Amino acid sequence: MNLRATARDVGEVTVIDFGGGITLGEGSALLRQMLRDLIAKGHRKIVLNLGDVNYIDSSGIGELVGGFISMRNQKGELKLLNLTKKVQDLIQITKLYTVFDVYSDEAAAVRSFRP
Amino acid sequence: MTAETKRIDITLETSLESVALAEDMSLRVATAAGFGDDECHRIGMSVREGVINAFHYGNSANREKKIHLAFELTPEKMVIRVLDEGRGFDLTEVPDPLAEENLLKTSGRGIFLMRAFMDEFDVARGPQGGAEIIMAKRFPPARQSNPQSTGGSSSTVGKEE
Q: From CA B2, how far away is CA A55, in angstroms rounded?
A: 36
Which CATH number among 3.40.1160.10, 3.20.20.70, 3.30.920.30, 3.30.565.10 corresponds to the domain B6-149? 3.30.565.10
Residues on chain A touching B113 (C-beta within 8 angstroms): 58, 90, 93-94
In a domain, A96, yes or no: yes
The pTM of the full predicted model, rounded to 2 decimals, is 0.89
Counting runs of H as helices and runs of E as strands, what totals does chain A give? 4, 5
Residue-level pLDDT at B147: 53
In a domain, A14, yes or no: yes
Give every CB contact of residue A76 below 8 A, 6+ residues apart in sequence: A39, A43, A44, A45, A46
Q: The CATH number of the domain where A55 resides is what? A: 3.30.750.24
Select from A113, A91, A74 the least CA-distant residue to B103.
A91
Q: Which range of residues forms the domain containing residue A50?
A: 4-110
pLDDT, tens digit, for every residue of B109-153?
999 999 999 999 999 999 888 999 999 999 988 766 665 544 443
Q: Output Rg (C-alpha) for chain B, integer angstroms.
A: 16
Name which of A57, A69, A96 is nearest B49 (Cβ-Cβ): A57
Domain locations along chain B = 6-149
Contact between B106 and A58 using a beta-carbon 8 Å cutoff: no
Name which of A65, A86, A90 is nearest B104 (Cβ-Cβ): A65
Residue-level pLDDT at B158: 37
- Any CB–CB contact under 8 A between A19 and chain B? no
Contact between B19 and A65 using a beta-carbon 8 Å cutoff: no
**Residue numbers in chain B where pLDDT is lower than 70:** 1-3, 143-161
Residues on chain B touching A99 (C-beta within 8 angstroms): 103-104
- ipTM at complex level: 0.91
- Where would I find the H helices in chain A? 26-40, 58-73, 85-93, 106-111
Residue A59 · residue A92 · CB < 8 Å: no
- Any CB–CB contact under 8 A between B20 and chain A? yes
pLDDT, tens digit, for every residue of A23-63?
998 889 999 999 999 999 999 999 999 999 999 999 999 99
**How would you list the strands of the sheet with A101-103, edge to edge?**
A4-10, A13-22, A45-56, A77-81, A101-103
Number of domains chain A is built from? 1
Residue-level pLDDT at A35: 95
Residue-level pLDDT at B116: 97
- Any CB–CB contact under 8 A between A98 and chain B? yes
In a domain, A115, yes or no: no
